Structure 1
Amino acid sequence: MNALATDQLPVVVIGAGPVGLAAASRLVERGIEPLVLEAGPSAGTAVRDWAHVRLFSPWSEITDPAAEKLLAPSGWTRPDGSAYPTGGDWAERYLQPLADILDDKVRYGATVVGVARAGRDRIVDSGRDEQPFTVHVASAGGREERISARAVIDASGTWSTPGPMGADGLPALGERSAAGRISYRVPDLGDPAVRARYAGKRTAVVGSGASAFTALALLADLAADEPGTHAVWILRRGITGSTFGGGEADQLPARGALGLRAKAAVEAGHAGTVTGFRTQAVERDGDRLVLVDEDGRRLDPVDEVIVLTGLRPDLTFLSEIRLGLDERLQAPTALAPLIDPNVHSCGTVYPHGVHELSHPEHGIYLAGMKSYGRAPTFLALTGYEQVRSITAAIAGDREAAERVELTLPETGVCGGAGLFDEPDAAQNGEGGGCCAAPAVLQTGIGAPAPSGGC
């Protein structure tokens, strides 16, 4: 197929989440046909899975300018920019209306199972760049389809592949067989069935980020109403001044408040802490579970385990594409040094675009959460800037593609995985943390719980 014919093909966008729909809006703005393929039944399927969780970014930071222009003729108005929505609010009041405006440019129930160059596996060099992409899709009812594309923007996120409990990045021994007692999501305690699962129970929370803070705060609220409810917070590192985030010094105030709620839960006795614990095995003790670390230490039995150890990208359907990924983060090689938590325990989320997101395979881009690989510091505004730059490059506007149109404040993201994972170093206050402990460390257990990195 010649270049002119290829340019008539659509740009396939994988995922109808915030960044995928922003990419489609930017393509429409430039007169390029998008085709958004969403595996779920509606826009923001992954966001809806955490509909009960409140974001720590306000409305003013989670809508895309090009998307707003598309929505305006329909009478849509942006919600109060200073308010903090839940995931459910984001999906219903912004993502779904945007997808509805895009109409047949969004297809639901379309799972991408492979991306390749037409007629070329990843080994073949000859004529490779002249070939369009072929996107293999499995639709509802088992129907298979092949879609030709001039470019592919993979904004499928990382939600479908949560990290396991095992400290080596693989499931702990016995983790799979105990799956009925293990959850990898922040519990929705507004759901009666979920509430009953944790009420009056002893629950281990494994993880050290905002999601773990949220789970601890929610379980503390439950403990106030349901006697016998208790959480055990399991950390691979020790407790330092930055364990609970930046507190009142956090540039994202809602995230700081969330860390303070987690600290209050510990200080009120609703949650105990276990530090320097690297889970190696999960054993049965009757109907309960016992976690065992790599040195043989065994914790007291628990009824449930909530594993919140981060997310990772699913790269299986890109196996025939030549990607340039960092060996640690699984993020694009030029982007990885800017976001590597081994180096950046605290600091700025740098705006970036097509240069940092390009791969050896021309015309394929990972955007949004997926572009960050295993790094935990992604913000929606960053993703919107990514797809603005990417779509400009696809349109041939190199000047716009290389121009930075976003300035972000320092966000005070704390908690590098490097020295912080060394229990002795962490307890001695080492490890590169730069967020000072806040002066006031108490908040009410019943305060709102903004959360959810976006």
Structure 2
Amino acid sequence: MNAPTAALPTVVIGAGPIGLAAAAHLIERGIEPLVLEAGDGAGHAVREWSHVRLFSTWAEVVDPAAEKLLAPTGWVTPEGTACPTGGDWAGQYLQPLADALGDRVRFGARVTGVSRAGRDRVVDADRERQPFTVHILHADGSGERVTARAVIDASGTWSVPGPIGGDGLPALGERAAGTRISYRVPDLKDPAVRARYAGRRTAVAGSGASAFTALATLADLAKDEAGTHAVWILRRGIGGSTFGGGEADQLPARGALGLRAKAAVDDGYASAVTGFRAASIEKIGEHLVLVGEDGRRLDGVDEVIVLTGFRPDLSFLDELRLGLDERLQAPVELAPLIDPNVHSCGTVYPHGVNELSHPEKDVYLVGMKSYGRAPTFLAMTGYEQVRSIAAAIAGDREAAERIELTLPETGVCGGAGLFDEPGATKTDGASGGCCATPSTLQIGAPAASGGC
């Protein structure tokens, strides 16, 4: 890299847990980061599932480089064995970390495009010698362009939830019924949300941790509010692995969450409908009727909660040369390690720059976004990703290729035979973070009352 380009900052897209950790690792390597966040505060997406508890403990969701950066500010590490909620994580860790980074973090700065300066994706000539140009739309409507030596996209997948349609597209009528469909785990501490589901029948679509959280939450509501019932919709069948690793899971809160969802079904607070792939949603009187691709029509429900995973927004990266797997939309070298058609929510091999590189040099997708549509992400995985990438940008290849992470087992390990239906995958209900995403987010890993 020529000297003028090396003097430029590395742009980090997103001020969530992985983006802020990337900035901390870059600083540790003597590289100036510029973090661009579309929201108005650190952990903007995390705050939207602030009521969800992580599976992971504080010790597992605080990045080592970030902790070093925070130390001089007087920040005190929370109790390591406790599992924070999303709100705890954002307020007690992410916002203080952003504050410590100071003006290296810009809020209300939405990235609308990334390219090579003077080169669209077609042009080869002198391409790698050009810096990146990053287009920004500010909250006040003004625009800006900045140049960068490298780009780390940690923008996540929270803004693009999956639809209920079994073919990956919105079911007929899904958009029209939008006011009665939610794509988030409900926060029943909010009186308005509680009133929405109390005494009503709610369909919950999905088979990941977020769906488990919703089922457990609605079961608790049903104990206090007569008439409350959940209809759990799965695109596959129910087998021995459906509810996760239970007591064998090395993240105890994650195992406990699966057991709570199982209890909701066993105790009659939720009824399961298996092998159902939604084709349409019809409004019949005051109820919504879900119709399957096989012609089945379910009894009417009052509300629908869709927790079928998330997808990466790649639109603003269209002028870059990305190497993405055609199914998962994850980097081609990473995809075989996380493919839910092959792997369960068991251990994912720790990985770094080698698996995350693209044909376009010095651009990286990290965190949840690096997993595309796969649901098995943990915060610890993201921290290892950005440690490796920061080392690579700094030219320390040995450190970049070294693995410094051991991941916990889920107690559910297996190949394609894990699934009861050919072609069915965990993404049918993934939420987003650890084995899903809280409220489908699964970035740290929500717990008994939480998501990822």
User: Does the alignment reach a TM-score above 0.5?
Assistant: yes
Q: How does 1:306-317 map to 2 (within 5 A)?
A: 306-317=305-316
- Residues 151, 425 of structure 1: alpha-carbon distance in 2 compared, 3 angstrom cutoff: closer
1:275-326 deviation per Cα after TM superposition (whole angstroms, max 9, x unaligned):
1100010111122110000011000000000000011111111111000011
1:192-212 deviation per Cα after TM superposition (whole angstroms, max 9, x unaligned):
010011011100000000000
- Do 1:336 and 1:372's aligned partners in 2 also have CA atoms closer than 8 Å? yes
- Residues 148, 73 of structure 1: alpha-carbon distance in 2 compared, 3 angstrom cutoff: same
- SS of residue in 2 equivalent to 1:314: coil
- Do 2:20 and 2:98's aligned partners in 1 also have CA atoms closer than 8 Å? yes
What is the distance in 2 between the residues matched to 1:295 and 1:309?
A: 19
Query: Which residue does the alignment assign to 2:408?
Result: 409
- SS of residue in 2 equivalent to 1:93: helix
- Do 1:342 and 1:417's aligned partners in 2 also have CA atoms closer than 8 Å? yes
- Do 1:56 and 1:450's aligned partners in 2 also have CA atoms closer than 8 Å? no
Cα offset for 1:452? 2.2
- Do 1:351 and 1:406's aligned partners in 2 also have CA atoms closer than 8 Å? yes
- SS of residue in 1 equivalent to 2:383: helix
- Do 2:116 and 2:320's aligned partners in 1 also have CA atoms closer than 8 Å? yes
- Do 2:241 and 2:412's aligned partners in 1 also have CA atoms closer than 8 Å? no
What is the distance in 1 between the residues matched to 2:423 and 2:149?
A: 52
What is the distance in 1 between the residues matched to 2:89 and 2:276?
A: 36
Query: Which residue does the alignment assign to 2:176?
Result: 177
- SS of residue in 1 equivalent to 2:140: helix
Query: Which residue does the alignment assign to 2:439?
Result: none
Cα offset for 1:251? 2.0
Query: Which residue does the alignment assign to 1:38?
Result: 37
- Do 2:217 and 2:449's aligned partners in 1 also have CA atoms closer than 8 Å? no
Q: How does 1:206-355 map to 2 (within 5 A)?
A: 206-355=205-354
Cα offset for 1:361? 0.1
- Do 1:348 and 1:412's aligned partners in 2 also have CA atoms closer than 8 Å? no
What is the distance in 1 between the residues matched to 2:353 and 2:236?
A: 36
Q: How does 1:84-103 map to 2 (within 5 A)?
A: 84-103=83-102
Cα offset for 1:347? 2.7
The one-letter code sitting in structure 1 at the alignment partner of 2:10 is V
- Do 2:150 and 2:362's aligned partners in 1 also have CA atoms closer than 8 Å? yes
1:2-58 deviation per Cα after TM superposition (whole angstroms, max 9, x unaligned):
821111110000000000000000111111110000000000000000000000000
**Structure 1 regions of 5+ residues with no counterpart?**
427-447
Q: Does 1:136 align with 2:135?
A: yes
Q: How does 1:48-67 map to 2 (within 5 A)?
A: 48-67=47-66
The one-letter code sitting in structure 2 at the alignment partner of 1:135 is V
- SS of residue in 2 equivalent to 1:407: coil
What is the distance in 1 between the residues matched to 2:37 and 2:89?
A: 17
1:308-357 deviation per Cα after TM superposition (whole angstroms, max 9, x unaligned):
00111111111110000111111100011111110112532211110000
What is the distance in 2 between the residues matched to 1:424 and 1:290?
A: 26
Q: Normalised by the size of structure 2, how large is the TM-score?
A: 0.93
Query: Which residue does the alignment assign to 2:124?
Result: 125
Cα offset for 1:423? 7.8
Query: Which stretch shows the higher mean deviation, 344-353 or 314-323?
Result: 344-353
What is the distance in 2 between the residues matched to 1:268 and 1:242?
A: 19
Query: Which stretch shows the higher mean deviation, 131-140 or 341-350?
Result: 341-350
Query: Which residue does the alignment assign to 2:17?
Result: 18
The one-letter code sitting in structure 2 at the alignment partner of 1:193 is A
1:134-164 deviation per Cα after TM superposition (whole angstroms, max 9, x unaligned):
1111001211111100000000011111110
- Do 1:162 and 1:311's aligned partners in 2 also have CA atoms closer than 8 Å? yes
> How many residues are matched?
431
- Do 2:245 and 2:410's aligned partners in 1 also have CA atoms closer than 8 Å? no
- Do 1:349 and 1:411's aligned partners in 2 also have CA atoms closer than 8 Å? no
1:206-225 deviation per Cα after TM superposition (whole angstroms, max 9, x unaligned):
00000000000000111111
Cα offset for 1:252? 1.5
1:348-392 deviation per Cα after TM superposition (whole angstroms, max 9, x unaligned):
221111000000000100011110111111111110010001000
Cα offset for 1:234? 0.4
What is the distance in 2 between the residues matched to 1:40 and 1:415?
A: 39
The one-letter code sitting in structure 1 at the alignment partner of 2:122 is I
Cα offset for 1:418? 7.8
1:430-451 deviation per Cα after TM superposition (whole angstroms, max 9, x unaligned):
xxxxxxxxxxxxxxxxxx8243
- Residues 407, 423 of structure 1: alpha-carbon distance in 2 compared, 3 angstrom cutoff: closer
Q: Normalised by the size of structure 1, how large is the TM-score?
A: 0.92
- Do 1:243 and 1:415's aligned partners in 2 also have CA atoms closer than 8 Å? no
- Do 1:133 and 1:151's aligned partners in 2 also have CA atoms closer than 8 Å? yes
What is the distance in 2 between the residues matched to 1:320 and 1:84?
A: 40
What is the distance in 2 between the residues matched to 1:415 and 1:337?
A: 14
What is the distance in 1 between the residues matched to 2:57 and 2:293?
A: 41
The one-letter code sitting in structure 2 at the alignment partner of 1:22 is A
Query: Which residue does the alignment assign to 1:433?
Result: none
- Do 2:134 and 2:147's aligned partners in 1 also have CA atoms closer than 8 Å? yes
- Do 2:328 and 2:372's aligned partners in 1 also have CA atoms closer than 8 Å? yes
Query: Which residue does the alignment assign to 2:81?
Result: 82
- Do 2:162 and 2:310's aligned partners in 1 also have CA atoms closer than 8 Å? yes
- Residues 227, 416 of structure 1: alpha-carbon distance in 2 compared, 3 angstrom cutoff: farther
CA RMSD of aligned residues (A): 1.7
- Do 2:163 and 2:308's aligned partners in 1 also have CA atoms closer than 8 Å? yes
Query: Which residue does the alignment assign to 2:356?
Result: 357
- SS of residue in 2 equivalent to 1:142: coil
- Do 1:109 and 1:140's aligned partners in 2 also have CA atoms closer than 8 Å? yes
Query: Which residue does the alignment assign to 1:442?
Result: none
The one-letter code sitting in structure 2 at the alignment partner of 1:110 is A
What is the distance in 1 between the residues matched to 2:410 and 2:131?
A: 40
